[in-house]
Structure 1
Amino acid sequence: MAGRRAYTDAEVEAAVQALTDPQQLQEAQRIVAENAPTLQRILNIALNEAEWFGSAHHAQVLEAAGKADIEERLQAVQTLLAEEIRVTMMIGAAVGFELAHQLIDKEDS
């Protein structure tokens, strides 16, 4: 990892903005779809290493599902799902970021 530089906020914003171009986004989606099994395996490894689906997660699921009031239960389950999506997306973004660095490092070698 030595030799990697930090990106400025402006560089990150420009890169994010570029992904709003439908053609660039479609190309990114194509690459991910073609490599989905491998990326899914990496995501599963990351989630397992973080013990995301360990006993604490199991307890949260039981707590959300066990709410007596249907509205409270619905809200708790929706919140839990939203948190899971956010964590998974952040890990997925981190994997994509590192994958890009690995590809760049290979080009530079």
Structure 2
Amino acid sequence: MTTAISQQLTREQAVEMANEILRLEAALKTMKEQLKKYVEEHGDLEIGDTVWKFQESISWDFESDKIKDFMKSLIIDGYTTNPYEIISFSKPKLDKLGLEEQYLMNFAKKKVTARFVNRKK
């Protein structure tokens, strides 16, 4: 199927394209899983200027009773005058609190972005 990006799609073409994307994404997922197993067994895989490897990701899980001490220490030790600038709250964590949107609007500005996704019904 070759359709120019600027050309207006028909519904039939859009359905065909969406199905092809789903097929390709499934194939890609399977290939990545196989490549991951290969790299686990054999180490980094270099191909030209690309390296497939495992890269360490680090995060810090603060104990709830230590957060206030950390914020104070940042000020005392001169790292910042406003440690609250580095704090962020994820939507899933806020959702766990069961807060109404109106309540949150008293403290924060709502930011909405549109992401193009596909989801199972």
TM-score over 0.5 for the alignment?
no
Q: What is the TM-score with the length of structure 2 in the denominator?
A: 0.29
Structure having the higher strand fraction is: 2
Q: What is the TM-score with the length of structure 1 in the denominator?
A: 0.31
Structure with larger RCO (C-alpha < 8 A, sep 6+): 1
Give the greater-gyration-radius structure (CA).
2
Structure having the higher helix fraction is: 1
